Amino acid sequence: MRFIAAFVWSLILWLVLTAGSRGLLWSTEELVAGVIFSAVVAFATRDVIGERASRFLNPVKWVGFAVYAIGPLFWGMVKANFDVAYRVITGRIKPGIVRVPVDLENDAQYTIMSNSITLTPGTLTIDACPDEKALYVHWINVTEREPESSEVVAGPFEKWARRLGR
């Protein structure tokens, strides 16, 4: 299963890269070469890609990722950019590092959560500690020194990360 996950993941990138070799589609030789090279890459990286990577082959999850990227993540980034622009102009900042307790289970959830926090300006994940179930976040405007949940720092990202990384 790990081989298949790595194979599909690399074949998708190959198809994106070589699209247009016959009209807008792919010529036969590009497809054959893609299958061969993807098989080689997948064989080489089958131990690297992770124990449970095949759960991301679920198309429902892809829809979830697309909805998340276009909806909450993009909107959160727009809002945060305007907020940071306001802070740059007025100089009203109160920086600090806060410990944010999160309720996540696996590596993928921590990664999605941390990257979402870092992508929205004004917050930056310093460290993820799964053993104490917390993220350390550098925050441009600390309003709560010891937040009880990730709601004040990251909005709805924790809920989404839990769903997408499951």
Partner 1 sequence: MSSERGMSLIVKTTARATIPLIGIFGAYVVSHGHLTPGGGFQGGATIAGAGILFLIAFGFGEMEKRYSHGLYSALEGLGGLAFLGAAMLGLGVAFFYNTLWHNGPLFNGRPGTLLSAGYLPIMNLAVGLKVFTGLVSAMVAIAAYRRWGE
- Chain residues that interact with partner 1, rule: CB under 8 A: 6, 9-11, 13-14, 17-18, 21, 27, 29-30, 33, 37-38, 40-42, 44-45, 47-50, 53, 107-108, 110-111, 114-115, 125, 127-128, 130
Find the shortest distance in angstroms from Cβ 90 to partner 1. Answer: 32
Minimum gap (Å) between residue 143 Cβ and partner 1: 25
Q: Are 107 and 150 in contact (CB under 8 A)?
A: no
Tokens representing 162 are 């839990």
Q: How far is the CB of 87 from partner 1 (least distance, A)?
A: 26
> By C-beta, is 47 or 144 nearer to partner 1?
47
Residue 83 vs 101, nearer CB to partner 1: 101
- With respect to partner 1, which residue has the nearer C-beta, 118 or 141? 118
Query: What is the rounded CA–CA span in Å between residue 163 and residue 46?
Result: 25
**Could you tell me which of 137, 123, 144 has the C-alpha nearest to residue 76?**
123
Q: Which is nearer to partner 1, 45 or 141 (CB)?
A: 45
Both structure tokens of 7 = 């194979």
- What is the spatial distance between Cα 129 and Cα 127, in angstroms, rounded to a whole number? 6
- The DSSP call for residue 106 is S
> Distance between CA atoms of 137 and 95, rounded to whole angstroms?
11
Give least dist CB 42 to partner 1, A: 7
